[in-house]
């Protein structure tokens, strides 16, 4: 690895056994963190896979893919002083399966921390989205008409790796058009502090954007700022805002990158459509 601009993937995190029991799927972690630690490549997309369950065994959440998306913050053009080349990236694309989808999974909107940014250590933040289990929220979105979803979580660093910031971007494709109300939008609109400006619903923490939801074309987009937590339980984050979240201009840059990136992957790339 070389410092300042590497793009070598980290090992895939496989949780298949747990997912079968608890409805979870899988995550892939890719990134570049300085010059330390071993690296391995993402499994080949052409590797043989088991056929998806069918009939009574079919699930709402179907095929998983791991798109090769470059989310290095320094290449996103974030207007952030002291931005390092080091980063950690997690990505996952989920297709709707052949099974029935529950429109109201038990966890949706019921987890602690409602109407505030997700807070957690490492990969634990991947399990929670809008105060819901991530897979449960996507199942509810599938039940409302979505047929695939893409999520990208990026951790970057300012000045040193002791100052991380994390942002998660998600998009759902609705082939028949995004409905006026979706489970994700209902959760955000249920927060007293949510502000609606045109097609964008936004929740702030202090002066910084914590959650954004908006629609463009057949895609519903969600952008979340995350509070990273150390192994000792200390909340860390961007050092130049009172909230520890990225400033609005940085989130605007993330949005400008994410919209065409998700459109390319979810709409233009139809190789896996059936």
Q: What is the pLDDT of residues 255-271, one digit of tens each?
A: 999 999 999 999 876 54
Q: Is residue 48 part of a domain?
A: no
> What pLDDT digit, counting tens, does each position of 120-179 carry?
887 888 999 999 999 999 999 999 999 999 999 999 999 999 999 999 999 999 999 999
Helix then strand then coil, in percent of the chain rounded to 5, is: 20, 30, 45
Position 225 scores a pLDDT of 96
Q: Is residue 162 part of a domain?
A: yes
> What pLDDT digit, counting tens, does each position of 206-234 carry?
999 999 999 999 999 999 999 999 888 89
In the chain, how many domains are there? Answer: 1
Q: Inform me whether the pLDDT recorded for 273 exceeds 60.
A: no
Nearest-angstrom CA–CA distance, 120 and 228: 6
Q: Is residue 7 part of a domain?
A: no
Q: Is residue 6 part of a domain?
A: no
Q: Is residue 192 part of a domain?
A: yes
Q: Is residue 18 part of a domain?
A: yes
Instruction: Provide the residue range defining the domain that includes 174.
Output: 12-32+59-268
CA-closest candidate to residue 93, choices 164, 42, 19, 147? 147
Q: Is residue 145 part of a domain?
A: yes
Nearest-angstrom CA–CA distance, 76 and 116: 25
* Residues in a beta bridge with 61: 96
CA-closest candidate to residue 164, choices 173, 172, 155? 155
Nearest-angstrom CA–CA distance, 143 and 96: 9
Q: Is residue 38 part of a domain?
A: no
């Amino acid at each position: 690895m070389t410092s300042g601009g590497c793009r070598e993937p980290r090992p895939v995190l496989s949780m298949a056994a747990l997912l079968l029991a608890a409805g979870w799927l899988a995550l892939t972690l890719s990134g570049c963190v300085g010059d330390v630690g071993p690296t391995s490549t993402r499994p080949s997309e052409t590797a043989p896979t088991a056929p998806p369950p069918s009939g009574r065994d079919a699930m709402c959440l179907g095929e998983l893919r791991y798109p090769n998306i470059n989310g290095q913050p320094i290449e996103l053009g974030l207007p952030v002083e002291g931005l390092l080349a080091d980063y950690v990236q997690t990505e996952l694309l989920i297709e709707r399966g052949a099974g029935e989808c529950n429109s109201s999974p038990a966890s949706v909107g019921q987890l602690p921390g409602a109407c505030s940014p997700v807070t957690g250590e490492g990969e634990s933040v991947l399990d929670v989205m809008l105060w819901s289990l991530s897979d449960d929220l996507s199942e509810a979105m599938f039940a409302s008409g979505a047929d695939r979803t893409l999520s990208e979580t990026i951790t970057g660093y300012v000045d040193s790796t002791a100052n991380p910031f994390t942002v998660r971007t998600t998009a759902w494709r609705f082939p028949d058009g995004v409905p006026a109300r979706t489970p994700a939008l209902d959760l955000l609109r249920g927060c007293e502090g949510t502000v609606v400006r045109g097609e964008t619903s936004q929740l702030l923490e202090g002066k910084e954007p914590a959650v954004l939801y908006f629609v463009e074309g057949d895609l519903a987009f969600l952008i979340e700022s995350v509070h990273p937590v150390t192994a000792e339980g200390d909340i860390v984050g961007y050092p130049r805002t009172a909230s520890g979240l990225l400033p609005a201009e940085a989130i605007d840059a993330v949005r400008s990158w994410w919209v065409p990136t998700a459109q390319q992957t979810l709409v233009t790339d139809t190789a896996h459509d059936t």
